[in-house]
Amino acid sequence: MFDLLIKNATLTDGQTGVDIACKDGKIAAVEAGITAEAAEVIDAGGQLVSPPFVDPHFHMDATLSLGTPRMNVSGTLLEGIALWGELKPIQTVDDIVARALRYCELAVAKGIGAIRSHVDTCDDELKGVQALLQVRAQVKDYLDLQLVAFPQDGVLRDPTAMQNTIRALDMGVDVVGGIPHFERTMAEGAESVRLLCEIAAKRGLMVDMHCDESDDPQSRHIETLACETQRLGLNGRVAGSHLTSMHSMDNYYVSKLIPLMVEAGVHAIPNPLINIMLQGRHDSYPKRRGQTRVRELRDAGITVGFGSDCVMDPWYSLGKADMLDVAFMGLHVGQLSSRADMAWCFDAVTENSARIMGLQGYGVAKGCAANFVLLQATDPIEAIRLRAHRLAVVRKGRVIARSNPVIHEVNLGAGQKPLDEARVPFVSEGPDPVISGGIRDSRFE
């Protein structure tokens, strides 16, 4: 007898009519026509079952603090950092824990199964670190929380940041972070990348740096990050978050940079909602978008995962733990509009991000952890189009969140009629174009 059986699901690869059987926290079978009994049976009705959403870049120590102690008036990254500096001394460990746990509940309801959260280490009391280590332990049965030691004020610029970052790693924080573009000089930025990568290499840890989060085309710390990754043999364990300056770099330089990143196996984590909101603030018109070169990075073979970065904090007033909002924005800003490109945006908030975080047993396949989401949509593109409702969220074979389908009741004079937004069939007018939309990019030819 199975613990849970999902009947008649559609998978993200397009397979339809699939049953998914779960036993002892794992997926025991994924095939058509499973007839064995189960403690609970859910009829998916042909709708999409996806592996959980994965958020590879977040700030859980700051989330849901909007308005405390004031709002960000200019809307810039720098005022956000200053405002966070005002909040840090007045918040308590308990405040951070309470906000983070509230956010974890929202995230689970929205089908997020794993979050990589940066945690500020520029605080002699390490309140955020204490709080999020506690939260990581508390949520582990329903959410994988990976923590990044993040010296927000600069590991060299802030006098105690280096020792506090090392203390945080000693306390059990998982990943080494950094912010080279916020150090005093380009040279100190490069030095910070070198020192932090050496710490990661020595401890056998992954690296994820806020890297070149600016509109300055001369901010080229990603080059140093790729180089240090190669030098220290950290290939596949390093991610560059944001990389917005790449938007403004000249094409010739980028034609050298991207192959360096490929060689080093560096991953990229753009944060579409935040990048489009914070970048280009010094421009009049034309105004830059500030999202990194998603299509070019992907086409070169770099793993690209979209992060949400912020929800209701000093940098961003909106957000609702919805990775489909993130995919929707990334798709628009990156002009990823072909069917293949849109489907890829779904991968950017699921399997690509899982790969960046190094998650084990991820996927809807026999032997994987029984973690998945049933969506009110029939394919990944429709899921993004509708920011589809989550009907059931399953973790280790147990339903941990569920909701009724959203059905509108429409009455246009001929009586009341139910309307399900998700049931609009897609009629293909020909074969899907090849990945990257069939548009040739002559810049790299």
**Site size with Zn ion, rule: CB under 5 A:** 1
Q: Show the binding pattern over residues 261-300: x = contacts Zn ion (CB under 5 A), - = does not.
A: ----------------------------------------
Shortest distance in whole angstroms from residue 326 CB to Zn ion: 13
Shortest distance in whole angstroms from residue 226 CB to Zn ion: 20
> 315 or 372: whose CB is closer to Zn ion?
315
From the list 277, 267, 280, 288, the residue with the least C-alpha distance to 211 is 267
Shortest distance in whole angstroms from residue 59 CB to Zn ion: 6
409 an active-site residue?
Answer: no
Shortest distance in whole angstroms from residue 301 CB to Zn ion: 25
Both tokens assigned to 284: 């009049």
> 266 or 377: whose CB is closer to Zn ion?
266
> 12 or 152: whose CB is closer to Zn ion?
152
> 228 or 309: whose CB is closer to Zn ion?
309
Residue numbers 211-240 binding Zn ion by CB under 5 A: none
> 135 or 179: whose CB is closer to Zn ion?
179
Q: Show the binding pattern over residues 300-339: x = contacts Zn ion (CB under 5 A), - = does not.
A: ---------x------------------------------
Kindly name the residue from 105, 183, 198, 213 that is annotated as catalytic.
Answer: 213
Q: Provide Rg for the chain, Cα atoms.
A: 22
Shortest distance in whole angstroms from residue 74 CB to Zn ion: 18
The residues assigned a catalytic role are 213
Residues forming contacts to Zn ion in the complex (CB under 5 A) are: 309
